């Protein structure tokens, strides 16, 4: 339980369905810069306190799990290293994969509990007669979070309950208000729970002190057209913080977008929007949730390269003992960022996915 409305209603629904539930909150950082930021974090002392208050209203036990050390090791450290190397990591995927789900399962095993549950908007459905679990997108496409759960192991999904998968956000808030839960009007959590706004750049510089700061911004022909403030502050498709020189004659520069980051040269390439439109990407570190697809030379799928986009039609071509794959899109996709994930779907069902390595 994060103290937010989603995990609070998940606990409410489990109790109403007859489960013997216990709330567990993961403490991953002690505080942020102020109460407003803490209210939007899912892992601070304030969030643990809010979750405990909800558990009291629900009449269920509540415990705190100290996850600070493993969170630094498995999420914050790799997050900083990725940005320092010109990549764009997804901390939610790292956290679910290496921290949240494993620690909840460990706590469940200690208590003899059969299942764990979270407030993610996604669904778990049996995929065959043996009861193998399948991960599916939520009914509410605007809130679907199946993308950030694709990297979990199948055996973890078999013990995961997702009570909100069939609900909309509006329904969840209504249920919270009707039950008098403290979190019914709590603000949405932000994507990077441990760093707000541009604060993450200071974190990267502190944890990766060798990361260079200023460097050249280059155009398609390799000519210097400006100066960037450090590659850790940029991702593919970005427009802000691009200090582009004026055109000859003092004309204002035309809009430019980051379409390549060369960490070895401390350089950023910026060009027209079409420069960041991509037909093919390479992926690695694949995780398969529908194992049958590992036997295919290629298969059609809907592919997400960002959490909130609609799946785009593509051909997935596995290679390297099915640990990597090339993805060929039917239509060019906007700004897939190396370091983010590409997740493959068969309709609403997640086939698997991997980390975007490169594109062309």
Three-state SS string over 97-159 comes to: HHHHHHHHHHHHHHHCCCCEECCCCEEEEECCCCCCEEEEECCCCCCCCHHHHCCCCHHHHCC
Of 135, 156, 178, the one marking the end of a domain is 178
Query: What is the model's pLDDT at position 360?
Result: 57
pLDDT-wise least confident of 30-34, 35-39, 72-76 = 35-39
Q: How many domains does the chain have?
A: 3
Residues 24 and 166 in one domain: yes
Residue 337: is its pLDDT beyond 60? yes
Q: Is the pTM of this model over 0.85?
A: yes
Q: Are residues 21 and 153 in the same domain?
A: yes
Average pLDDT over the chain reads: 89
Does residue 320 surpass a pLDDT of 90? no
Q: Which residue has better confidence, 292 or 287?
A: 287
Q: What is the pLDDT of residue 321?
A: 85
Question: pLDDT exceeding 70 applies to what percent of the chain?
Answer: 89
Q: Can you tell me the mean pLDDT for 274-301? A: 92
**Percent of the chain clearing pLDDT 90 (strictly above):** 71
Above 80 in pLDDT, residue 203? Answer: no
Task: For residues 115 and 220, state if they share a domain.
Answer: no
92 is catalytic: no
Q: Supply the DSSP symbol for 184.
A: T
Domain shared by 286 and 305, yes or no: yes
Catalytic residue among 193, 211, 229, 317: 193
- Residue 309 is classified by DSSP as S
**What is the C-alpha separation between 269 and 50, in angstroms, rounded?**
45
Domain that holds residue 235: 212-271
324 pLDDT exceeds 80? yes
Residue 214 reports pLDDT greater than 50: yes
Neighbours of 245 (CB within 10 A): 11
Is residue 89 in a domain?
A: yes
Known active-site residue 193: yes
When pLDDT is averaged across residues 276-284 and rounded to a whole number, the result is 96
- Whether residue 136 sits in one domain with residue 87: yes
Last residue of a domain, one of 244, 271, 298: 271
User: Quick count: other Cβ atoms within 10 Å of Cβ 295?
Assistant: 9
Catalytic residue, chosen from 43, 92, 95, 211, is 95
Tokens of 107: 């706590």
* Bridge-based pairing state of the strands 62-66 and 23-27: parallel
């Amino acid at each position: 339980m994060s103290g937010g409305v989603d995990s609070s209603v998940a606990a409410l629904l489990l109790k109403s369905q007859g489960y013997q539930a216990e709330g567990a909150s993961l403490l991953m950082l002690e505080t942020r810069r102020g109460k407003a930021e803490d209210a939007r974090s899912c892992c601070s002392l304030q969030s643990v306190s809010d979750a405990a208050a909800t558990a009291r209203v629900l009449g269920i036990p509540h415990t705190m799990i100290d996850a600070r050390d493993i969170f630094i090791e498995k999420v914050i450290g790799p997050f900083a290293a990725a940005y320092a190397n010109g990549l764009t990591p997804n901390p939610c995927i790292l956290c679910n994969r290496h921290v949240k789900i494993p620690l909840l399962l460990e706590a469940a095993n200690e208590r003899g509990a059969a299942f764990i549950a979270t407030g993610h908007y996604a669904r778990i459905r049996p995929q065959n007669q043996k009861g193998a679990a399948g991960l599916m997108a939520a009914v509410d496409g605007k809130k679907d979070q199946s993308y950030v759960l694709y990297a979990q192991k199948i055996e973890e999904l078999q013990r995961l309950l997702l009570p909100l998968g069939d609900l909309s956000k509006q329904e969840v808030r209504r249920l919270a208000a009707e039950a008098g839960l403290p979190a019914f009007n709590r603000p949405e959590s932000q994507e990077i729970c441990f760093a707000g706004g541009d604060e993450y750049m200071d974190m990267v510089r502190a944890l990766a002190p060798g990361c260079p700061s200023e460097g050249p911004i280059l155009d398609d022909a390799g000519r210097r057209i400006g100066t960037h403030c450090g590659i850790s502050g940029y991702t593919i498709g970005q427009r802000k913080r691009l200090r582009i020189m004026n055109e000859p004659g003092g004309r204002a520069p035309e809009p430019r977008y980051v379409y390549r980051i060369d960490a070895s040269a401390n350089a950023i390439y910026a060009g027209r929007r079409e420069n960041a439109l991509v037909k093919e990407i390479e992926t690695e570190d694949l995780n398969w949730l529908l194992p049958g697809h590992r036997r295919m030379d290629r298969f059609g799928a809907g592919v997400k390269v960002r959490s909130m986009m609609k799946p785009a039609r593509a051909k997935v071509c596995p290679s390297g003992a099915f640990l990597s794959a090339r993805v060929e899109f039917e239509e060019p996709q906007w700004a897939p960022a190396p370091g983010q994930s590409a997740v493959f779907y068969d309709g609403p069902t997640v086939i698997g996915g991997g980390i975007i390595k490169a594109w062309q």
